[in-house]
Structure 1
Amino acid sequence: MKIKQRSKKQLNKNLRWHSLVLLDKIENHNEFSNVVIDEFLQNTPLDERDNRLVVQIVYGVIQNKLTIDYYLAPFVSGKKLDDWVSTLLRLSVYQLVFLDRIPSHAVVNEAVQVAKVNGHGGVGNFVNAILRRFIRTDRLDIDAIEDFTERLSVKYSISPWIVDYFLKHQTHEEVENLLESLQEVPFISARVNTSKKSRKEVMESLYSEGYDTVESDISPVGIRSMNGNLIHSTAFKEGWLTIQDESSMLVAPLGHINGDEEILDACSAPGGKATHIATLLETGHLTGLDLSEPKIKRVNEHMDRLGLSQRVTLNVEDASKHQPTDGQLYDKIYLDAPCSGLGLMRRKPEIKYDKSYEDIQELAQIQTELINHVSTLLKPGGEIIYSTCTMSYEENEEIVQSFLNAHDNFVQSPISAEKDNIKADLITDEGNIRVWPQQYHTDGFFISRLVKKDTEGIK
């Protein structure tokens, strides 16, 4: 049995029903949580307060899925449940365990209503019995789990292989600090469009509309909102800012753009980096590529809103096959390579369960193909800024080192705290940037800068 569309009319004002529908799309139909949430908020029949609770429940269930399943296991062991019933129980247990302000009777009553309407009376009775037993029974003690990997996996609700992966590279304390930080609610951050306004001017405008913002700790053009989504602000509508994570704001300035360069952004979507590069151009030009037509369309919309379209050409194209139309080489190439996205687990918690180590290996091959190809499109003396939003070494340091080993006409250009205006604790011994989520409560990120020698090396 699946989610029934006819249930929608009867349950249209039931926020648990809407939470169930959204979670079903994410967990059983492989849709992205941020996309599903955005679509819901654009067409919601609920008021703002209920919308906030729906979003909290949906993200909370995904964020704590393995923890919830651990608590539920004694009550459903051996029972064959439809996917939607399992999801309904999860979202109910999430509220009972993590949201103290919601009365338990309200959680149970609404869950039973959803179960009866979408299923039948028997399903409603089953859900009622499970939840009432859960309320009366002491929860299992996670700290009693003997195996360290399993304990961290359940405690922080993350696939065991990811725990094991980081334990191979870091101490127990470092791994636990990382996993704990991934459970935190991500900040809403934005980059100021300095071609229109200063950061101070934008923050003053936001303050006048009731937004509480603070300056970014790591980017001179970044701000954080402490109390609201900035897309509803005048500053956003006027193109004075764009939503972007603080760690990705570090990428564009590392090219030290003069303003007159020909630049390639090989993987442009979702557009934060591309629009940042465009703000630094004057007489130069940016060519942006992406495989997805809808994504390129959205990047174009961002460029229009920010008033940057005249400096940019965006194409639906595979960067691994790209050739400049006029045969001219680029002064700088930005390659924000497709990756496993492990640095986004706080913002897109489904990544904690959907990715595998095999995905990392496959993506590393794609990254290698991309950097090898775009390197042929770069002028001597030009730079490649390679970046990812993941934390695996195979997709970051190993890609860079393998590339340098195979291309003696390239050298690494170490990133400097002083010359590049980067926090020293973000720079590795090799001269790369590696941002861990727990450092400044941002996405995890990696950046490396490579320079093509003026004289071609001899193979």
Structure 2
Amino acid sequence: MKTKFQPQNARELALVALEGVVENGAYSNLQVDQLLKKYPLADKDRRLATNIIYGVLQHKLTLEYWLNGFIQGKRLDPWVKTLLLSALYQYHYLERVPDWAVTDESIEIAKRRGNPGIRKFVTGVLHAILRKGLPDLRQINERDLRLSIENSVPRWLVNELTGEYGEEDTEKILQSINEPAHQVIRVNTAKTDLPTVKQTLDAAGIEYQEGQVAQNALVITKGEIISSDLFKNGEITIQDESAMLAVESMHIEPGDKVLDACAAPGGKTVQIAETLADEDGHVDALDIHQHKVRLIEKNARRLGVEKRVTAHALDAREVDQLFDDESFDKILVDAPCSGIGLLRRKPEIRYTKTLNDSKQLHKIQLAILNAVAAKVKKGGIITYSTCTILRQENDDTVQAFLAEHPEFELVKTTTARKVKDNRHSPTLTILPSDFDSDGFFISSLKKGI
């Protein structure tokens, strides 16, 4: 049910944001940005609201399991359930926030938004939770169910990861995905260099650590980056370290002609363009939607590489419409995928994706690879990457492509810092538990001469 409820503080804004994500399917990052612009909060309250929103989404199954023991199967209005879940999250996970503050403000929200009956019900549930405490999840005997509830992921994902990575690595992956996501910047070498950016950050009092996965990466530990001159001037951009590796592994040369087949919003397009020469090198970037093409162009302008980029509104499966065979030295297919590697940043997708979604995406990924195969020159490489860690979208897609295209061979993916260089597989899989970065997959498909 739609409401005209206007948030007046951090907890109320968190409630409205969570409703948008859970009930209306909004993307959490977009919902948070939109509401914080519409209802400005002090920095401390912004942090609290953001923490509650992402925390409830990350731990939703855990919180629902706990809540069920206190509502005796009672059917609740969605907003009331979300209010109770957010209070539970604060009780259990926010140790510095006093229980009385959570209780008082939650009851006040119930009173302001609901009616006396709802206020009374919320009061009773919250007092019961504080009085009785929460059930011990370790008492859940069935392993898959326990891991599902403890880590707030669907059972199908627990089973799939266990089958692919084994029990020990699966538990490490699941524990890692509910840790806070790092904010990472990539230095735009078309405009500046790493030492200069570090000097500017030091002067601004912004704290950072050296990236351990990708070159020209810094992990921001304290300070505001989006409003900095470095970001506004296009000297840096926001990009996870794992995502940087796809382009890094392509070993772009200044004179290369490159196709970025699934480009929006353009983070990897501009990363490619940074290394290209204005006179000789060029990258053509594709996206199926015109408004996303404009986003690619906007990012290219901000980073000062617009002369090296041409963006097209085109489905990558229709590349024959624009390009001749053997037009490109290198092609990047950063394919549409389930996004399971991004659960830290987009926690809500774990509740909406299914194993069947992954299988359907495999078909789309293979169709894109098949379409672009003829467009790379002999001796050139197609880099196929995803932000998932599920085999059917990664190695299975690569093997299906190779079975249809014997003119290609799978060669070892290498990066500047030789990430996981002692692995046995030629493909590179970064698990969320490896470096506390996003989960990512990269493969390198070389066309025979």
TM-score, reference length from structure 1: 0.94
Q: Does the residue aligned with 2:320 lie in a helix, a strand or coil?
A: coil
Q: 1:115 aligned to 2:110? A: yes
Contact 1:13/1:45 (CA < 8 Å) preserved in 2? Answer: no
Contact 2:323/2:375 (CA < 8 Å) preserved in 1? Answer: no
Cα offset for 1:436?
0.8
1:86 is aligned to 81
Kindly report which structure 2 residues correspond to 1:12-161, keeping only aligned pairs within 5 A, or say none. 12-161=7-156
1:295 pairs, out of 292, 298, 302, with 292
Cα offset for 1:378?
1.6
Q: 1:386 aligned to 2:384? A: yes
Cα distance in 2 for residues equivalent to 1:18 and 1:218: 36
Contact 2:386/2:442 (CA < 8 Å) preserved in 1? Answer: yes
How many residues are aligned here? Answer: 446
1:342 is aligned to 340
| % identity of equivalent residues | 37
Q: Please identify, of 406-415 and 435-444, the stretch whose mean Cα deviation from structure 2 is larger.
A: 406-415
Cα offset for 1:113?
2.0
Cα distance in 2 for residues equivalent to 1:340 and 1:439: 20
Contact 1:215/1:222 (CA < 8 Å) preserved in 2? Answer: yes
Q: 1:312 aligned to 2:309? A: yes
Q: 1:374-408 CA distances to partner (integer Å, 9 max, x unpaired)?
A: 11222222210100000000011111111111111
Q: 1:357-376 CA distances to partner (integer Å, 9 max, x unpaired)?
A: 00000000000100000112
Q: Structure 1 residues 189 and 426, CA, compared in 2 at 3 Å: closer, same or farther?
A: farther
Cα distance in 2 for residues equivalent to 1:120 and 1:142: 34
Q: Structure 1 residues 140 and 356, CA, compared in 2 at 3 Å: closer, same or farther?
A: same
Contact 2:410/2:444 (CA < 8 Å) preserved in 1? Answer: yes
1:244 is aligned to 239
Cα offset for 1:174?
1.4
1:398 pairs, out of 391, 396, 399, with 396
Cα distance in 2 for residues equivalent to 1:381 and 1:288: 21
Q: Please identify, of 40-49 and 267-276, the stretch whose mean Cα deviation from structure 2 is larger.
A: 40-49
Cα offset for 1:288?
0.4
Q: Does the residue aligned with 1:75 lie in a helix, a strand or coil?
A: helix
Contact 1:3/1:118 (CA < 8 Å) preserved in 2? Answer: no
2:196 pairs, out of 195, 201, 210, with 201
Contact 1:344/1:389 (CA < 8 Å) preserved in 2? Answer: yes
4+ residue segments displaced more than 4 Å: none
Cα offset for 1:160?
1.0
Contact 2:213/2:419 (CA < 8 Å) preserved in 1? Answer: no
Contact 2:386/2:441 (CA < 8 Å) preserved in 1? Answer: yes
TM-score, reference length from structure 2: 0.96
Q: Does the residue aligned with 1:450 lie in a helix, a strand or coil?
A: strand
Contact 2:249/2:416 (CA < 8 Å) preserved in 1? Answer: no
Q: 1:368 aligned to 2:347? A: no
Cα distance in 2 for residues equivalent to 1:394 and 1:281: 33
Structure 1: runs of 5 or more not aligned: 455-459
2:409 is aligned to 411
Q: Structure 1 residues 229 and 371, CA, compared in 2 at 3 Å: closer, same or farther?
A: farther
The amino acid of 1:263's aligned partner reads: V
Q: Does the residue aligned with 2:338 lie in a helix, a strand or coil?
A: coil
Cα offset for 1:440?
0.7
Cα distance in 2 for residues equivalent to 1:235 and 1:200: 13
Q: Does the residue aligned with 1:170 lie in a helix, a strand or coil?
A: helix
Cα distance in 1 for residues equivalent to 2:223 and 2:343: 21
Contact 2:190/2:304 (CA < 8 Å) preserved in 1? Answer: no
Structure 2: runs of 5 or more not aligned: none
2:182 is aligned to 187
Q: Does the residue aligned with 2:255 lie in a helix, a strand or coil?
A: coil
Contact 1:3/1:84 (CA < 8 Å) preserved in 2? Answer: no
Q: Structure 1 residues 440 and 170, CA, compared in 2 at 3 Å: closer, same or farther?
A: same
Cα distance in 2 for residues equivalent to 1:45 and 1:228: 18
1:269 is aligned to 264
1:321 is aligned to 318
Q: Please identify, of 177-186 and 296-305, the stretch whose mean Cα deviation from structure 2 is larger.
A: 296-305
1:457 is aligned to none
Contact 1:3/1:21 (CA < 8 Å) preserved in 2? Answer: no
Q: Please identify, of 316-325 and 437-446, the stretch whose mean Cα deviation from structure 2 is larger.
A: 316-325
Q: Does the residue aligned with 2:429 lie in a helix, a strand or coil?
A: strand
The amino acid of 1:4's aligned partner reads: T
Cα offset for 1:424?
4.5
Q: 1:356 aligned to 2:354? A: yes
Q: Structure 1 residues 325 and 364, CA, compared in 2 at 3 Å: closer, same or farther?
A: closer
1:284 is aligned to 281
Cα offset for 1:294?
2.8
The amino acid of 2:296's aligned partner reads: V
Cα distance in 2 for residues equivalent to 1:336 and 1:424: 19
RMSD: 1.5
Kindly report which structure 2 residues correspond to 1:220-259, keeping only aligned pairs within 5 A, or say none. 220-259=215-254
Q: Please identify, of 108-117 and 193-202, the stretch whose mean Cα deviation from structure 2 is larger.
A: 108-117
2:375 is aligned to 377
Q: Please identify, of 113-122 and 24-33, the stretch whose mean Cα deviation from structure 2 is larger.
A: 113-122
Q: Please identify, of 421-430 and 194-203, the stretch whose mean Cα deviation from structure 2 is larger.
A: 421-430
The amino acid of 2:365's aligned partner reads: Q
